[in-house]
Amino acid sequence: MDNARLQAVKLLGKTFSKGGYSNILLDKTLSETSMGEKDKNFCAALYYGVLERRITLDHIITGYSRMKLSKLRPEILNILRTGIYQLKFMDNIPDSAAVNESVNIARKLKLGSLSGFVNAVLRNFLRDGKQIKYPENKTEKLSVEYSSPEWLVNLLLQNYSENQAVSLLKSSVEKPPVTVRLNNLKGETSQILERLSDFSPESTVIDGCYKISYGDVTKTQAFKDGLFHVQDIASQLCCMALNPKEGETVLDLCSAPGGKAFTLAELMNDKGRILAFDIHDNRVRLIKNGAERLGISCIEAKTGNASVFDERIPMADKILCDVPCSGLGVIRRKPEIKYKNFEEFERLPEIQYKILENAVKYLKPGGELVYSTCTVNPVENVRVIDRFLKEYKNFKGVKFLEELGIPFGDYKVTLFPENLNSDGFFISKIKRTE
């Protein structure tokens, strides 16, 4: 697995220096390598593991390095991160292999003069029983324990209960569940489940949503046959909150890759009209391809800018406004998000508000709109909705999914992993009264 370790170190270097989405970088690397499946899986686990635990790993390394992390060569720092991660978080890897292969990678990268330093840091960590020395300050401790930046820890503690904050932080370093939406257009639930028996499907609180235990489900014949699409339970609840009916006209203004549009179509039994938009042509193709795989005919995927009014778009009975956001609720799926500067998110609320203002222009009197994000930042969520309802008197909040109990029962809800093991998510429903 030495090549897998080397590839992980190189991937981390690209991710931390150039940015980009981890899944895209990993998929590209694995598709171009000659590694076997076992090594590919190990490379992916090590790569994502270090991404998830970087702050924790750097805290450990700081305690054993005679040099500041900022002074270390990036390659050496990533070798140490992968080495410490194997020692602390991968029980199936022998300590000797983690240390020796880390030293070997330094040599392969022509950094042999620093191989002794790598060896010393890793072996000293071993001698201390692989213990993490946590800070006494609560914010700093949570930051190290759950490998989250202090600004995120503070944001959560200042706006939510400690239980909610910890549930999100803890989930961010755990393996996220795989949930799917069964395609009721392909048959009865029992019939589909029979064909998915190898996936160990487990029911959830909502009909048609199942957790499954499997590898890459998108490579299975059942997926190719359109029996389901992969979608977190929070996104499915968002569609249920909109509650589309057969024969209605529905707009999904920020749709790609199309998961919510697919669920809306299934809830409508493919009877009605759904216009699904994205600003990029290549992402519109994702919606079209997904709808075709699932056998959905009522979706019309089009290119469109959600923040700019288009007189060609018809008035709608229901609108889904799932706006671009900071993504702080899906860090367990995209760990690189937490290493962004918080300042990068400051312009988002105005963009979100502009999209919402434009969206309501398409809503019929009596029509309903769901505003949603996959973040838990109140500035992008409740404050956008509160501002809108204050400025637009012909709209009111509408309660939704009350039958599911807490946290539902209001017109705006923030979901945390502690509720339904969902991603962090915000859903609000409003209605045009005139």
Q: 330 falls in which pLDDT band (50, 70, 90)?
A: very high
Does 88 have pLDDT greater than 60? Answer: yes
pTM of structure = 0.92
**Residues forming a β-bridge with 427:** 372, 413
Query: Which pLDDT value is given to residue 241?
Result: 98
Counting Cα atoms < 13 Å in the Cβ hemisphere of 63 gives 19
Mapped onto helix, strand or coil, the DSSP state of residue 359 is: helix
Pairwise CA distance, residues 51 & 57, whole Å: 10
pLDDT average, residue stretch 321-336: 94
In degrees and rounded to multiples of 5, residue 246 shows phi and psi of -55, 135
Query: Which pLDDT value is given to residue 418?
Result: 92
Query: Which pLDDT value is given to residue 20?
Result: 67
* Percentage, residues of the chain above pLDDT 70: 99
What's the order of all strands across the beta sheet hosting 228-230?
202-203, 209-212, 178-182, 228-230
Catalytic annotation on 374? Answer: yes
Q: 27 falls in which pLDDT band (50, 70, 90)?
A: confident
318 with 359: CB under 8 angstroms? no
Q: 198 falls in which pLDDT band (50, 70, 90)?
A: confident
Q: Is pLDDT larger for residue 196 or for residue 22?
A: 196
Q: 25 falls in which pLDDT band (50, 70, 90)?
A: confident
276 with 250: CB under 8 angstroms? no
Out of 8-12, 204-208, 357-361, the most confident range is 357-361
C-beta neighbour count of 366 within 10 angstroms: 10
95 with 127: CB under 8 angstroms? no
160 with 136: CB under 8 angstroms? no
Choose the catalytic residue: 238, 298, 321, 374.
Answer: 374
